[in-house]
Amino acid sequence: MCRSSFKLWRAMVRVHSATQGPAASSDQPAAAAARSQLAGSEQPEVFTIWMKSLVLNGSGCTVYDSAGSIVYRVDNYGARRAAEVCLMDLAGNVVLQILKKKLGFGRRWEGYRWSDQEQELRRRPWFKVARAWAWRGPSRCTCELSGDGAGLDAAATVRYRMDEGRIALSRGARIVDGATGLAVAEVKRKTTAAGVALGADVLTLAVEPGVDRSIIMGLVLVHGLINRAM
């Protein structure tokens, strides 16, 4: 194994080990495990985002579930702030395609579902993300999810906004339902069970039940593209 490959392998082991969290600790009380089992799907889905590509010298990110298994990956092959980014599963199948669009002096990102059974949907954006600038305070990313092709009524529109951790996601950011004002997801710097913060490129993403995690990942990816994190 070459030196660079060994370094990447060691880093993956550290991130994978950190995903175990307190629930995997041997001294975790059995009562807590029982409560978690009873709660079932009411518990948020928790993911670890490592802002590194699985491809050596590449740009992108790798997403692990709470068991430490890879569920998503992005590989831009060295091109940061690419005009096209694909969210893939571990096998390399494209789940979501994000394209950057130029609108005058502004920018917009469009997300497209990618499935052999949904060829027609590829021609229509599933969601659109724009950055809303603010003179004071942090700027926001706003996401508009159209009902057409989103599993909703054709006339329905769902809006989310991302209250940014300005520049770096490691400072913490929430994704909020535009209609209710309730947080549907939160991303922040990952800490170990002992409370030790990992590197700024290792994040924790918690997604509330009933929320499509593909949309959440789309917002997180756009944030990374805006701030040159990938």
In order of their start, the domains of the chain are 80-226 (2.40.160)
Share of the chain above pLDDT 90, in %: 24
Q: What is the pLDDT of residue 6?
A: 43
| Residue 173: other Cβ atoms inside 10 A | 25
CA distance 47 to 187: 9
Which candidate, 106, 165, 114, 168, places its Cα nearest to that of 133?
106
Q: Residue holding tokens 């005058």?
A: 104
Compute the chain's Rg from CA coordinates: 18
Q: What is the pLDDT of residue 30?
A: 43
Q: What is the pLDDT of residue 204?
A: 94
b (16+ CB within 10 A) / e for 4-13:
eeeebeeebe
Q: What is the pLDDT of residue 33?
A: 43
Q: What is the pLDDT of residue 82?
A: 74
CA distance 167 to 153: 35
Residues of the chain with pLDDT under 50: 5-6, 9, 19-40, 149-150, 152
